[in-house]
Structures are given as C-alpha cells and as structure tokens.
Amino acid sequence: MYLGALELDVLLGDVRSLAEKRTKVEPVLSELHRFGVSATETGEHGRIRRSLFGIAAAGSDVDGLHDKLDECERHVAERHDLELLAVRRRIFGPED
C-alpha cells in the first residue's frame, strides 16, 4: 500500500473577510473529495487571502496514486478564482 500527501499553497481572489474565505475554500475541498481523497484546509487559517490545502490518498500502486494526486493538483490549478502558488508532494511506501 502507498500513501500520498499533497499540500497546495493557494492565493484566493477577491476575498475581504474570513467568512468570505470559507465560502471560497469549502466548495474547492468538496470538489476534491469527489476524486476519492481526503482534503482539508491545513494552514493559513487566520490569513484572509491565503490557504493551504492538505490532500491525502491511499493506493495499491504508486503510479495510480501519482495520477490521482496529479488530477487533484490540476483541478485546483485550473480554477480561475484562486492562484496555485506552490505544491509539495510526498509518497510513503511499504519500506517507509
């Protein structure tokens, strides 16, 4: 079994309050769940225009896991209401 972790650092568009930030972040996380991953906001909670999305997935083969994480990254990168600033990825295998 392999576990994959993806952290996406994003800049939100025109957001002026933490409540408005939630209305932008929650739909993105819900959409990511449809890819069969676990997704949550893992950082930058107090900053209005920034967020860190943490995504985790499990798979039986490393190539399939990379494909799933690639799909999640592409989905976020293609959104027009936010800007993907940085991506960090880690894969854990049986020997870890």
Q: What angle do CA 53, 7, 14 make, to 5 degrees?
A: 40
Chain segment 30-64, per-residue pLDDT in tens: 999 999 999 999 987 888 999 999 999 999 999 99
Verdict on whether the full-model pTM lies above 0.85: yes
